[in-house]
Chains A and B, each alone.
Chain A
Amino acid sequence: MTVSQPKIARDGPRLAASGDWIADHADAMQALLDEFAAAPAPVALDLAGVERLDTFGAFALTRLRGQPRALLTGVRETQRGLIDEIERLPCEPAAAPPRRRIADGLESLGRALAEASADAVDFAAMLGRLAEAFARACVHPHAFRLRSIVHHLDRVGVQAAPIMIMMTFLVGAIIAQQGFFHFRRFGAEDYVVDLVAVLILREIGVLLVTIMAAGRSGSAYTAELGSMKMREEIDALSTMGFDPAEFLILPRVLALVIAVPALTFLGSMAALAGGGLVAWAYAGMSPPIYISRLSEAVSLESFEVGMIKAPFMALAVGVVAAVEGLRVEGSTDSLGRRTTTSVVKSIFLAIVLDGVFAIFFAAIGM
Chain B
Amino acid sequence: MDIAIHIEGLTVGFGAKTVIDALSLDVRRNEILGLIGASGGGKTVLLRALLGLVPKRAGRIEILGLPRDSAREIGRRCGTLFQQGALFSSLTVLENLEFPMREYLGGSDALRRDVAIAKLEMVGLKAEDALKFPAELSGGMVKRAALARALALDPEVLLLDEPTSGLDPIAAGDFDELIRTLRQTLGLTVFMVTHDLDTLHSVCDRVAALYGGKIVALGPLAEVRASAHPWISAYFRGARGRAALA
Contact = CB atoms under 8 A, between A and B. Distances in A.
A282 B101 CA distance: 64
A333 B90 contact: yes
A139 interface: no
Contacts of B126: 92
Contacts of B181: 81, 85
12 contacts: A26-B112, A55-B115, A59-B118, A78-B184, A79-B185, A81-B184, A86-B122, A91-B121, A94-B127, A94-B131, A95-B128, A332-B89
Interface stretch (A27-35, A173-181, A298-306): A27-35
Given A56-B154, A81-B181, A92-B127, A24 B186 contact: no
B159 interface: no
A207 to B, nearest CB: 35
Interface in A104-141: none
B133 interface: yes
Contacts, number: 96
A239 interface: no
A284 interface: no
A81 B184 CA distance: 8
Contacts of A63: 114
Contact of B106 (A27, A81, A89): A27
A93 B114 CA distance: 7
A178 B118 CA distance: 68
Interface string A53-67: 011100110010000
A33 B111 contact: yes
B153 interface: yes
A208 interface: no
Given A56-B115, A59-B114, A92-B117, A30 B185 contact: no
Contact of B118 (A30, A89, A331): A89
A333 B134 CA distance: 12
Contacts of B106: 26-27, 30
B6 interface: no
Interface of A: 22-24, 26-27, 29-30, 33, 54-56, 59-60, 63, 78-79, 81-82, 85-86, 89-95, 97, 329-333
Interface of B: 89-90, 94, 101, 104-108, 111-115, 117-119, 121-122, 126-128, 130-131, 133-136, 151, 153-154, 181, 184-187
A293 B158 CA distance: 77
- Interface majority SS on B: helix, strand, loop or mixed? helix
A85 B178 CA distance: 10
A55 B122 contact: yes
Given A55-B154, A331-B89, A331-B134, A82 B108 contact: no
Contacts of A95: 127-128, 130-131
Contact of A82 (B90, B115, B186): B186
Contacts of B136: 330
A33 B111 CA distance: 9
Given A23-B104, A59-B114, 18 more contacts: A23-B153, A33-B111, A54-B154, A54-B186, A55-B122, A55-B154, A60-B111, A78-B184, A78-B187, A85-B181, A89-B121, A90-B121, A94-B113, A95-B130, A97-B131, A331-B90, A331-B135, A333-B90
Given A30-B107, A90-B127, A22 B154 contact: yes
A94 B108 CA distance: 15
A336 to B, nearest CB: 9
Contacts of B105: 23-24, 26, 56
B117 A93 contact: yes
Contacts of A29: 107, 111
Nearest to B116: A94
Contacts of A329: 135
A82 B185 contact: yes
Nearest to A82: B185
Contacts of B122: 55, 85-86, 89
Between A26, A94, A332, the greatest number of chain B beta carbons within 10 A of the residue's beta carbon is seen for A94
A30 B114 CA distance: 12
A81 B187 CA distance: 11
Contacts of A79: 185
Nearest to B94: A94
A91 B89 contact: no
Contacts of A93: 114, 117, 127
Closest 4 CB pairs of A and B: A330-B135, A26-B107, A27-B106, A82-B185
Contacts of A85: 122, 181, 185
Contact of B117 (A27, A60, A91, A97): A91
A29 B105 CA distance: 11
Contacts of B94: 94
A284 B71 CA distance: 65
B69 to A, nearest CB: 22
Contacts of B128: 95
Nearest to A28: B106
Nearest to B131: A95
Nearest to A331: B89
Given A22-B154, A23-B153, A23-B154, A94 B135 contact: no
